[in-house]
Amino acid sequence: MDLASWSAVAGLLLLVMALGDSVLARMPVSTSMLYLAVGAAASPLWLGWVHLSAETHAHALERTAEIVLLLSLFGSGLKMSLGLRDGRWLLPLRLATLSMVVTVALVAIVGVVGLGLSLGVAILLGGILAPTDPVLASEVQVAEPTDRDRLRFALTGEAGLNDGSAFPFVLLGLGLLGLHELGDSLSRWIAVDVAWAVAAGIGIGAALGTLIGRLVLFLRRTHKEAIGLDNFLALGLIGLAYGLASLAHAYGFLAVFAAGVAMRRVEQRASAEAAGAAASRAPDGGDAASLQARSIAHVARAHADPDPRRAADAATDPQHAPAYLAHAMLSFNDQLERIAEVAAVLAVGTMLWAVDWSRASWWLIAVFLIVIRPLSVLVGLARSRTSTTQRALIGWFGIRGIGSLYYLEYAIRHGLPGDAAATMTALVLSTVVASIVLHGLSVTPLMNLYERRKLARRKAA
> pLDDT for 197-253, tens place per residue?
999 999 999 999 999 999 988 888 887 876 777 788 889 999 999 999 999 999 999
Closest CA to 398 of 140, 184, 47, 86: 140
User: What is the C-alpha to C-alpha distance for residues 138 and 76, in angstroms, rounded to an integer?
Assistant: 9
Q: What is the pLDDT of residue 304?
A: 59
Taking phi over 0 as left and psi of -120 to 50 as alpha, with beta for the rest, 183 belongs to left
Q: Count CB atoms within 10 A of the CB of residue 19.
A: 9
| Confidence band for 461, pLDDT divided at 50, 70 and 90 | low
Q: What is the pLDDT of residue 280?
A: 66
Q: What is the pLDDT of residue 21?
A: 67
| Confidence band for 286, pLDDT divided at 50, 70 and 90 | low
Q: Per-domain residue ranges for the chain?
A: 3-460
pLDDT surpasses 90 at 334: no
The predicted model scores a pTM of: 0.91
Q: Average pLDDT in the 94-111 region?
A: 97
Percent of the chain residues topping a pLDDT of 70: 86
Q: Supply the mean pLDDT for the chain.
A: 86
Q: Average pLDDT in the 387-408 region?
A: 93
pLDDT surpasses 90 at 161: yes
pLDDT surpasses 70 at 275: no
Is the distance from CB of 129 to CB of 115 less than 8 angstroms?
Answer: no
Q: Average pLDDT in the 76-97 region?
A: 88
Q: What is the pLDDT of residue 140?
A: 82
Q: What is the pLDDT of residue 270?
A: 83
CA atoms within 13 A on the CB side of 17: 19
Q: Count CB atoms within 10 A of the CB of residue 390.
A: 22
User: What is the C-alpha to C-alpha distance for residues 145 and 75, in angstroms, rounded to an integer?
Assistant: 12
Q: What is the pLDDT of residue 333?
A: 82
Looking at domain 3-460, which of 1.10.357.10, 1.10.10.1150, 3.40.50.1820, 1.20.1530.20 is its CATH number?
1.20.1530.20
| Confidence band for 192, pLDDT divided at 50, 70 and 90 | very high
